[in-house]
Structure 1
């Protein structure tokens, strides 16, 4: 059973979050850790504007936002839209906030339209349809509450700066001055909340089919939700304490590093054309996406680029649960390319797991990504 102390801790933290930021229509989702929210609350000292600024800074961190977005891959209807999400993320960090907002609004509408058999986008949903019985986004000041401004009509043209995610006014061209980091960040916040809602809906439907809703089943779902938030808090603590490091050839730390060892193993399997073993080093997301056909997908990606030799040039361990390995790949015909291989330390649910949490280093991107982005080098 979940302890009363942990339940109280969760409830108090979520309530404190909404006390400060509920009127600004920010939503607590399970990719926000309890520790991070407590830090924001303590640092803001009751100032909602300051709390909002601190929350935006948390999103406006390239690595942290990338990790927040990893669970999107688990939902097929969202997986189809990941290329658009990635473009919106790039626009966000390049300062094209207007583009981020429009792209993410279209992603949310399309995802919700496809997610359920009832074909209606997010903008066509009533607030009561967005309650999530076993998720923190189901708070009375959460997703359903924020949805009221999302769909609010705006007939008169408004040129004053807007800082809310007024979907209808933005899409229909009546709200003009929304090109700012606040609205863009709220678009990412809403996207993650909608994903939480979708996961909760799937669980609800599954449990309704399997068993009647009882206090026992509700308690189990709450325990799962708290477990995910606690896990995220533990990962955030590790990231906060982490100090980035880069290792180069010639040091024991370089060859002893697990990222060097994993990369050496991956490239060795590639050189030997052992695509079955190679596929075992790919992220769980790839396995979840392709299932038993993952080996075939990996073969199709790597086989056109036979590897003759390789050299691992650097290991950049830039986050507790993520790192990049730089390598030079020599292909047939004397072609040499410089490639970056991005790795994440994750558990079986593809959640980031820094040490000492149990996890494995796996290649984050789908196989073709680092091949497509590789830079050609002159032949030796």
Structure 2
């Protein structure tokens, strides 16, 4: 098998933060092993116990594991396979060994056999079921699995490809399917959602296939299969690669739903003066807690709500709900900074729940940073009016989501209890 060029270091999977973290630990162990003789001579101590523990660490095997994702993709991406976070390491290693021995057919046989009924069922249950956007597709994916197990590849392959398209369309910020030219499936710290993973595989599998061909193919060309021009697609090789594609896309989908598409913001190093300020802030907060007294006789009239109070923030939320202003409703919604378009989450929950009227029943300051507000709500849900009393627990937090004093100038009021009904 011809030797492929190695990925540039900046684009290598080995540069992923999770893998680099392990790499750093392995290098530290290597340095410690080299330093032990010097330490024994310099300190005149016996480090036999430490040496025995370090010997248990298989550094050669650790190095093989660190380089495995790049080695796998370099060998197999052109043949329609990429590695993803829950793929079996043993299967990947065995396939690499076969391919290195110039037995590509044997390597592909290992990978095809991996996608048996038990493996696919397990991945559907433990991985795909965690993705909200996948759940409506579960019935069809199980039918596709029945067809796959029975050897009806002509039926299973188009269904899985179509469901991949729909899943990507639902979760992509621009609502494009996976086959769209501008669709990028990238996510921070992901083996699958990487330029050397789905980024490269997409360029291979989603090319134009306009001319009708009857010869057997070995790659799941989405356009040729779904548009009826690649007629020789119905074989186990294409079917297994289609399942592998689904699970790789599933890794991207999980990242999107968790709001982990972009890298978290790096926190700058804390200076000594900042540490002193933090300590002072903790002491001030403790003193406030000890001397805090709840407000007396808080008005239930919204026109008398004080700007910056928890009831004032909640009142904005409720009035925006009446007006279906989902964007401003996010003001009291705790969100991840990496989350794409938070208003979509609000809209999805409230688009069938319309607030018709509301009335404040009580406002109780529970603590320095906590106020519970009971509101009577009249809600129209699927054509029916419902009335209910609901408690909103309002918390004073800073921009990083840390609970702070309600008297702090940077305090904003948030509620984790916004999902009414």
Q: TM-score, normalised by structure 1?
A: 0.51
> Do structure 1's residue 62 and structure 2's residue 117 form an aligned pair?
yes
CA gap of 1:36–1:156, structure 2 versus 1, over 3 A, is: closer
Q: Does 1:25 align with 2:80?
A: yes
Residue deviations 1:123-156 (CA, integer Å, cap 9, x gap)? 22536x1223311114543111111132211221
- Check if 1:110 corresponds to 2:166: yes
Q: Would the alpha carbon gap of residues 117 and 130 (structure 1) be closer, same or farther in structure 2, given more than 3 Å must change? A: closer
Q: Does 1:77 align with 2:133?
A: yes
> Would the aligned equivalents of 1:207 and 1:213 in 2 still touch at CA under 8 Å?
no
Q: Which has the larger radius of gyration?
A: 2
Structure 1, 130-139 or 17-26: larger mean CA deviation: 130-139
User: For residues 261 and 194 of structure 2, what CA distance do their matches in structure 1 show?
Assistant: 21
Measured in 2, the distance between the counterparts of 1:43 and 1:178 equals: 25
1:89 paired to 2:145: yes
Does structure 1 residue 212 correspond to structure 2 residue 265? yes
CA distance in 2, matches of 1:72, 1:85: 10
Shift in Å, 1:8: 4.2
Q: For residues 81-105 of structure 1, give each alpha carbon's deviation from its aligned partner in whole angstroms, at most 9, with x where no partner exists.
A: 0111111111001000011111001
Secondary structure at the residue paired with 1:149?
helix
Deviation string for 1:309-329 (max 9, x for gaps)? Answer: xxxxxxxxxxxxxxxxxxxxx
Question: 3-state DSSP class of the match of 2:229?
Answer: coil
Contact kept, 8 Å, 1:153 with 1:168, in 2: the verdict is yes
1:148 alignment counterpart:
203
What SS does structure 2 have at the residue aligned with 1:176?
strand
Higher helix share: 1
Give the corresponding residue for 1:2. Answer: 22
Give the direction of change, closer, same or farther, for the CA distance of 1:207–1:92 in structure 2 (3 Å limit): same
Find 1:40's aligned residue among 85, 89, 95: 95
Aligned residue in 1 for 2:216: 161
Task: Give the secondary-structure state (helix, strand or coil) at the position aligned to 1:122.
Answer: coil
Matching of residues 238-317 of structure 1 within 5 Å:
none
Structure 1 residue 131 corresponds to structure 2 residue 186? yes
User: How far off is 1:213 after superposition?
Assistant: 4.5
| Change in 2 beyond 3 A, CA 1:31/1:50 | same
What are the within-5 Å matches in structure 2 for residues 369-380 of structure 1? none
Give the equivalent residue in structure 2 for 1:201: 256
Relative to structure 1, is the Cα distance of residues 180 and 207 closer, same or farther in structure 2, using a 3 angstrom cutoff?
closer
Unaligned 5+ segments in structure 2 are 1-20, 27-58, 270-421
The alpha carbon displacement at 1:121 in A equals 1.4
CA shift in 2, pair 1:14/1:155, >3 Å: same
SS of corresponding position for 2:213: coil
Structure 2 residue corresponding to 1:175, chosen from 230, 235, 239: 230
Structure 1's 14 and 79: CA in aligned 2 closer, same or farther, altered over 3 A? same
Alignment partners' CA distance in 2, 1:150 and 1:206: 23
Query: Partner of 1:188: helix, strand, or coil?
Result: helix
RMSD: 2.5
In structure 2, relative to structure 1, the CA distance for the partners of 1:140 and 1:121 (3 Å cut) is closer
- Structure 1 residues 77, 125: closer, same or farther in 2, change over 3 A? farther
**Secondary structure in 2 aligned to 1:160?**
strand
The secondary structure found in structure 1 opposite 2:216 is coil
Q: Which runs of 5+ in 1 are unaligned?
A: 217-380
Describe the shift of the 1:66–1:121 C-alpha distance in structure 2 as closer, same or farther (beyond 3 A). Answer: same
**TM-score for the superposition, normalised by structure 2:** 0.46
Partner of 1:11: 66
2: CA distance between counterparts of 1:94 and 1:143?
29
The answer (yes or no) to whether the contact 1:20–1:46 under 8 Å persists in 2 is no
Measured in 2, the distance between the counterparts of 1:83 and 1:182 equals 24
Summarize deviations over 1:211-270 as a string: whole Å, max 9, x none: 515799xxxxxxxxxxxxxxxxxxxxxxxxxxxxxxxxxxxxxxxxxxxxxxxxxxxxxx
Q: Structure 1 residues 213, 156: CA separation in 2 closer, same or farther (over 3 Å shift)?
A: farther
- Counterpart of 1:51 in structure 2 is 107
